[in-house]
Chain A
Amino acid sequence: MGTAINISDVTRSFGLRKALDRLSFSLPQGAFLSVFGHNGAGKSTLLRILTTLDHPSSGAVEILGLNARKDADKIRERIGYISHNPMLYGDMTAEENLLFFARLYGVNNPQLRVRDLLDDVELAHRRLDTVRTFSRGMTQRLAIARALLHDPELVFLDEPYAGLDPHAVEILDGLLASIRSRRTFVMVSHNLSSGYAHASHVLLLSHGRAVCFESTQDLALESLTDLYRRDVSEGVF
């Protein structure tokens, strides 16, 4: 099995502050990486770099064997990103939003694909309503459909459960389970137990540095919780 993500010595600075500090890890294809850390630990910055929306100040990033700077477009064809921002247009309907992105990606038969995805996220009945009228949970479900339009093989999720009601959580879990087998996932989460439950690997960040990067086979939830309490909550750096 190949490598989905390979980053070495990645640093991202904003002025004097280092959001990521010499971060290195390698994730195999098909893995599910859960990233934990306190607010400002660098989790979202890491995801923006991995999704080519940002570039590191130094260090090398390889996604699916491609250089993140030189082959950004080839990477974008193969990744999906679900952020806490929905990345949608508030004044367009659910269907218009998905059709717009599907056509930009060049999805064949976009109407059919959009209809299927709207069914999957249980928003078919609201397809003609503008996103502005949606609840947080509905908007997030539509954002999930947007991220999956082009059938990405590597999916990034930035706190996807934030603000979701139990029904929306159920739908998201079902969706993740249905597409899990063929894909690699990277999920940022604040919830240790639910993040760990999905994961094959965990990355613990504190002040931009990796406290640990382990397979869940080698690190039990209790040990992860202890590490989090000791190194992240109290802070070692």
Chain B
Amino acid sequence: MVRTEMRNPSTLCQFRILLTKDLRIEFRTKEMVTSMGLYALLVLTVYGASLAQTAWGFNILQMSGGLLWVVIIFTSLLGLNRSFSQEKEFAALDGILLVPMDRSVIFLAKMTANLIFLLVIQIITVPLFIFFFLATTTPAETALLIVIPLLVGSIGIAGIGTLLSTITMHTRGKDVLLAVLFIPLIFPLLYACVSATSMMLVGTDDLGAIWRSLALAGGYDVIMILLGWVLYDFLLSA
């Protein structure tokens, strides 16, 4: 065997390699997107059955922000529970941990992959939600802006979720444990995103309130992602 020449790949290069791997596997198996998509559709079906019995006076527009985020949160929980299934199956994560690299790159790549899968699901789910539940209502002119809280919220969900799914990956009852840790930790972000989404759909004179909610959500994202970046090496070692 001839001695192999090596060069140190950049952090960005390693990030791209890790992200491409996750996208390639998902494109091939469609494991996460299919299960998350089906789950989201089932939740919408349950909504349909539940809300069909409500009185005519019921204002669904007022509740639509909250209902939409319930779908997103529970769908993302399902996906996050599976986000390390490929790494766990043949202990591939150990193989990655043996590579000399900043372990925070693993976090960022996995978070970005989770974010992409979550956004793909939202591209399918949100129009369906609007078609089935808001078609007879008159949303405000700001309704199209809900893409902003959806994006900001998804970034936070992917960041916090990736961090927590790493912690719970090897635990017994990880599905429950992830939910128990995830929901309380995501609560400030969820509250801000539901608030911004609802105001955008219903309409408000106080645009400042929308931007305050978005600023809170964005700030929370930044803190959580920085925390993940800093703590990831320690979490993997522990």
Would you call the interface of chain B mostly helix, strand, loop, or mixed? helix
Bound state CA distance, A187 and B24, in angstroms? 34
Closest residue of chain A to B102 (Cβ to Cβ) is A73
**Residue interface mask A77-106, B partner, CB < 8 A = 1:** 101110101111111100010001101111
Partner of A108, one of B6, B29, B101: B6
Please name all residues of chain B whose beta carbon is closer than 8 Å to the beta carbon of A88 when the two chains form the complex: 90, 92, 95
Bound state CA distance, A74 and B24, in angstroms? 30
A151 at interface, CB cutoff 8 A: yes
Q: Tell me if B92 and A73 are in contact (CB < 8 A).
A: no
Q: Tell me if B9 and A104 are in contact (CB < 8 A).
A: yes
Q: Tell me if A86 and B90 are in contact (CB < 8 A).
A: yes
Q: Tell me if B1 and A53 are in contact (CB < 8 A).
A: no
Closest residue of chain A to B14 (Cβ to Cβ) is A104
**Residue interface mask B138-151, A partner, CB < 8 A = 1:** 00000000000000
Please name all residues of chain B whose beta carbon is closer than 8 Å to the beta carbon of A96 when the two chains form the complex: 24
B3 at interface, CB cutoff 8 A: yes
Interface centre among B1, B7, B25, B95 (most CB of A within 10 A): B95
Please name all residues of chain B whose beta carbon is closer than 8 Å to the beta carbon of A91 when the two chains form the complex: 25, 28-29, 86
Partner of A90, one of B89, B94, B237: B89
> Distance (Å) between the CB of B18 and the closest chain A CB?
8
Please name all residues of chain A whose beta carbon is closer than 8 Å to the beta carbon of B91 when the two chains form the complex: 83, 85-87
A164 at interface, CB cutoff 8 A: no
Partner of B95, one of A79, A120, A146: A146
Q: Tell me if B9 and A103 are in contact (CB < 8 A).
A: yes
Please name all residues of chain B whose beta carbon is closer than 8 Å to the beta carbon of A87 when the two chains form the complex: 90-92, 94-95, 98
Q: Tell me if B100 and A108 are in contact (CB < 8 A).
A: no
Please name all residues of chain B whose beta carbon is closer than 8 Å to the beta carbon of A51 when the two chains form the complex: 98
CB interface residues, A 131-152, toward B, < 8 Å: 131, 139, 146, 148-151
B205 at interface, CB cutoff 8 A: no
> Distance (Å) between the CB of B106 and the closest chain A CB?
10
Bound state CA distance, A55 and B13, in angstroms? 28
Bound state CA distance, A108 and B5, in angstroms? 5
CB interface residues, B 71-101, toward A, < 8 Å: 86, 89-92, 94-101
Known: A90-B86, A151-B4. 20 other contacts (CB 8 A): A74-B100, A76-B100, A81-B94, A83-B94, A89-B86, A89-B90, A91-B28, A96-B24, A104-B9, A104-B99, A105-B6, A105-B9, A105-B99, A105-B100, A106-B7, A107-B4, A107-B6, A108-B7, A149-B4, A150-B4
The list of the 5 closest CB pairs from A to B, nearest first, reads A87-B95, A85-B91, A151-B4, A108-B5, A73-B100
What are 28 A-B pairs with beta-carbon distances under 8 A?
A: A52-B98, A53-B98, A73-B100, A73-B101, A74-B100, A79-B98, A83-B91, A86-B91, A88-B95, A89-B25, A90-B90, A91-B86, A100-B17, A103-B9, A104-B9, A104-B18, A105-B9, A106-B6, A106-B9, A107-B5, A109-B5, A146-B95, A148-B1, A149-B4, A150-B4, A150-B6, A151-B3, A151-B4
